[in-house]
Chain A
Amino acid sequence: MLKLEARPQLSRFWSYGSPILALLITVLIGMALFAALGKDPVKGLLVFFWEPIRSGYALGELMVKATPLLIIALGLAVCFRSNVWNIGAEGQFVIGAIAAGYVALLADKSTGPWIVAAIIAAGVLGGMAWAAVVALLRDRFNANEILVSLMLVYVATLVLGYVVAGPLKDPMGFNFPQSKTFDAVTQIPRLMKGSRVSIGLLIALGGVAALWIFLFRTRAGFAQQVGGLAPAAARYAGFSARRAVWIALLTSGGAAGLAGALEVAGPIGQLTPYVPAGYGFAAIIVAFVGRLHPVGMVFSAILMSMFYIGGELAQSRLGLPKSLTGVFQGLLLFTLLACDTLIAYRVRRKAAPKPAPLSPASPASSAPSGTASLQVSTPLTAQPVAHATEGAL
């Protein structure tokens, strides 16, 4: 019989090892799934992990999909580190895309390239506004941000459905629910010829650096995280919890809106009902798998992008549905959470079958919850969070 024993200190090794172990387990389950579907597991593996990095063009496509994932995840990391559960990034992405698309549709032949800056600004503001609703309701009404942000995803998708079928519909579009194609001048500038990689990648990498500095080198970033790890300590230190909620949501909303703008004025080039591609949800997994660390999330964004491209290739090459992507993404988060147990606990074999005596020293709900350390960058998973939100659920 195996049992878990709380570690005296959180394991650094497993905080980095757990995502790798989780990926291995996910790959094994994936191979079993391929075999069960009568496909060659090795071929399936190659489609997901070799094809996306095989050529320069493929690598470019990998970056195209990793960019929005990384940008959204960077914002979410601020949220999750401050224990604010914004899971509605998808909605903020959509509203950002609508705002950016609206500006892009204003452009005509005489518009200068400054329009790109306006598009990006509109996207950021749109995402921020949508997240501000969540912040306001959480701050003023104590409403649970998980449910509010998620409900707003459905609302945002319906708003998109309305604008592409109504006010922003292409009058020459044979009644299809989509806007007209944006003018060429609105296209987010690309980095090189022959690849769709745009300046969005540079923005994302800039965001990585900015987040690193904010989290680890500024007082504001420190205050933000203390509130997430130890609310009582933050109160004692005079860090405002309300401020933290607003900063977290506006940052992540702005980031998601930025990603929406870059997508809609980049690879998509018009507003359609198919703008939401699940990046907002996949970015949650990116954030967790990347340990909420700016550099870690670069790797996990690339990994998640591989899942997207692999899913598309599995559809065209192996005749499997594209939704395989979602299956693997969900599996990865599941296995990651299970593996993260190893950070706070070690697995021990029970010596005797008789029930272990209760030790009076440790209270019943003993988890190393007191050892909240700022070094380990997984406030959500490494230590059991007592009560994630102030609002009731």
Chain B
Amino acid sequence: MDGYALLLGSMLSAGTVLAIASLGLLINEKAGIVNLGAEGLMLCAAIAGFAVTVQTGSSWLGFAGGMVTGAFLAAVFGVLVIWLNTNQYATGLALSLFGVGFSAFAGINYVQAKLPESVQYKLPFLGDLPLVGPALFRHHPIVYFAVALTFALIWFLYRTRSGLVLRSVGESPESAHALGYPVRRIRFLAVLAGGALCGLAGAYLSVVYTGLWVENMVAGKGWIALALTTFATWRPARVLLGAYLFGGVTMLGFHLQSVGVDIPSQFLNMMPYLATIVVLALISRNPAFIRINMPASIGKPFYPGS
């Protein structure tokens, strides 16, 4: 039984990376911007967060470093797609390719680096409960932050005026513009917020989740996070659930290996990627289902009349 509690615990931990990144990308997409650069952005943030943590000894400064890196790279992306009107897909791709190279380049001296001793977190009383304690209440604060972020985002998007404006920019930038909202500035802010969250996810990955820096360590999580927004049909709560589900798929591979199932490890490691493909195919089968919730102007450039 304890094994399953730990499995559930590690599933939440693994899902957190995807959840935070995917919620960030959700903010982007609600404003009409698709950032295919998530993978590269997370890689750069992962090494930045790791390096800051190693240098300063504080993981919180590391998270801040990751967020700043993420926001900075997202700002470059944002200026290109919003003001220079470049193609969103190509620009995001450029960011991903750049991020893979740059993070490997910047991280060359940190491959063997060790982090300061990590703190064991435990909620008072709840953490001592049998089974649920190790499964739910002994996580890093960022894990709970992801849950809080989900609810905060639901409140922001559907209960506040700013959230309404953000969504209107993603649905119909022309109308928002006609109403006098600064469409491009709002989109830029959304891109910054999304970048910072992807950065936080990257830093959490290297500083807490794996505790080390390896070249290309994000290993497609940025792309899976992108796919998750579609799976969740742009609903924050579904994003969170989906992220845990995919965290579970990742962990299941490790779990099966540890209990000695005789499948080559490569096939177990394939599962998150194959699951992404299968779910994507199943969910995209019915375009009408997707279109209901999809921000109408997603991926489309907006340039106010000159």
**Using a CB–CB distance below 8 Å, which chain A residues touch chain B?**
3-6, 85, 87, 137, 141-144, 146-148, 150-152, 154-155, 158-159, 161-162, 165-166, 281, 284-285, 288, 321, 323-331, 333-334, 337-338, 340-341, 344-345, 356, 358-359, 361-367, 380-381, 384-388, 390-393
> Which residues of B in the span 78-100 have a Cβ within 8 Å of any Cβ on A?
80, 83-87, 89-91, 93-95, 97-100
**Using a CB–CB distance below 8 Å, which chain B residues touch chain A?**
34, 36, 40, 76, 80, 83-87, 89-91, 93-95, 97-102, 104-105, 108, 173-174, 177-178, 215, 219-220, 223-224, 226-227, 229-230, 264, 266-267, 269-270, 273-274, 276-277, 280-282, 284-285, 287, 290-291, 294, 298-306
- Interface contact A364-B174, CB-CB below 8 Å: yes
For this complex, 5 residue pairs linking A to B, each with C-beta atoms less than 8 Å apart, are A151-B273, A151-B277, A165-B264, A328-B101, A363-B305
Given contacts A142-B287, A162-B266, contact A4 B305 (CB under 8 A): no
Select one of A321, A324, A333, A363 contacting B174, CB under 8 A: A363
- Interface contact B97-A329, CB-CB below 8 Å: yes
- Interface contact A362-B104, CB-CB below 8 Å: no
A381, B270: Cα distance in complex, Å:
34
Separation in Å of the A33 CB from the closest CB of chain B? 9
Given contacts A146-B89, A330-B98, contact A362 B300 (CB under 8 A): no
- Interface contact B87-A381, CB-CB below 8 Å: yes
- Interface contact B276-A151, CB-CB below 8 Å: yes
- Which chain A residues border B301 with CB–CB below 8 Å? 365, 367, 384
- Interface contact B90-A337, CB-CB below 8 Å: yes
A323, B104: Cα distance in complex, Å:
6
A331, B290: Cα distance in complex, Å:
34
Sorted nearest first, the 8 A-B pairs with minimum C-beta distance are: A326-B101, A330-B98, A323-B104, A162-B266, A333-B94, A141-B281, A364-B174, A323-B105
Select one of B85, B108, B287 contacting A345, CB under 8 A: B85
- Interface contact A144-B280, CB-CB below 8 Å: yes
Of all chain A residues, the one with the shortest Cβ separation from B76 is: A334
Separation in Å of the A367 CB from the closest CB of chain B? 6
- Interface contact B101-A330, CB-CB below 8 Å: yes
Of all chain B residues, the one with the shortest Cβ separation from A382 is: B87
- Interface contact A158-B280, CB-CB below 8 Å: no
Select one of A87, A321, A326 contacting B100, CB under 8 A: A326
A6, B305: Cα distance in complex, Å:
9
- Which chain A residues border B294 with CB–CB below 8 Å? 392
Select one of B84, B177, B178, B226 contacting A4, CB under 8 A: B84
Select one of B287, B300, B306 contacting A3, CB under 8 A: B306
Of all chain A residues, the one with the shortest Cβ separation from B105 is: A323
- Interface contact B299-A141, CB-CB below 8 Å: no
- Interface contact A381-B90, CB-CB below 8 Å: yes
Of all chain A residues, the one with the shortest Cβ separation from B306 is: A5
Select one of A137, A146, A324 contacting B281, CB under 8 A: A137
Select one of A147, A323, A361, A381 contacting B101, CB under 8 A: A323
- Interface contact B90-A380, CB-CB below 8 Å: yes
A141, B99: Cα distance in complex, Å:
31
Select one of B219, B277, B304 contacting A364, CB under 8 A: B304
Given contacts A362-B306, A365-B174, contact A337 B285 (CB under 8 A): no
- Which chain B residues border A87 with CB–CB below 8 Å? 93
- Interface contact A142-B284, CB-CB below 8 Å: yes
A359, B219: Cα distance in complex, Å:
47
- Interface contact B267-A158, CB-CB below 8 Å: yes
Given contacts A158-B267, A162-B266, A326-B104, contact A362 B305 (CB under 8 A): yes
- Interface contact A147-B226, CB-CB below 8 Å: yes
Of all chain A residues, the one with the shortest Cβ separation from B101 is: A326
Select one of A4, A6, A151, A385 contacting B87, CB under 8 A: A385
Of all chain B residues, the one with the shortest Cβ separation from A365 is: B302
A325, B97: Cα distance in complex, Å:
11
- Which chain A residues border B86 with CB–CB below 8 Å? 337-338, 340-341, 381
Of all chain B residues, the one with the shortest Cβ separation from A361 is: B305
A288, B90: Cα distance in complex, Å:
9
- Interface contact B280-A143, CB-CB below 8 Å: yes
A361, B298: Cα distance in complex, Å:
25
Separation in Å of the A307 CB from the closest CB of chain B? 10
Select one of B84, B97, B223, B300 contacting A326, CB under 8 A: B97
Select one of B100, B177, B270 contacting A330, CB under 8 A: B100
- Interface contact B305-A358, CB-CB below 8 Å: yes
- Which chain A residues border B90 with CB–CB below 8 Å? 288, 333, 337, 380-381
- Which chain B residues border A365 with CB–CB below 8 Å? 173-174, 300-303
- Interface contact B108-A154, CB-CB below 8 Å: no
A328, B223: Cα distance in complex, Å:
22
A289, B274: Cα distance in complex, Å:
32
A384, B301: Cα distance in complex, Å:
7
- Which chain A residues border B83 with CB–CB below 8 Å? 4
- Which chain A residues border B305 with CB–CB below 8 Å? 358-359, 361-364, 366
A295, B178: Cα distance in complex, Å:
45
A380, B89: Cα distance in complex, Å:
9
A266, B277: Cα distance in complex, Å:
33
Given contacts A337-B94, A363-B305, A381-B90, contact A392 B84 (CB under 8 A): no
Given contacts A143-B277, A151-B276, A364-B178, contact A327 B98 (CB under 8 A): yes
Contacts A159-B266, A384-B301 aside, 12 further interface pairs with beta carbons under 8 A come to: A147-B280, A151-B223, A154-B219, A154-B273, A162-B267, A321-B105, A323-B215, A329-B101, A358-B304, A365-B174, A381-B87, A387-B299
Select one of A151, A284, A329 contacting B220, CB under 8 A: A151
Separation in Å of the A10 CB from the closest CB of chain B? 13
A159, B285: Cα distance in complex, Å:
27
A137, B278: Cα distance in complex, Å:
9
- Which chain A residues border B76 with CB–CB below 8 Å? 334
Of all chain A residues, the one with the shortest Cβ separation from B36 is: A146
Select one of B36, B108, B287, B298 contacting A323, CB under 8 A: B108
- Interface contact A341-B85, CB-CB below 8 Å: yes
A365, B94: Cα distance in complex, Å:
24
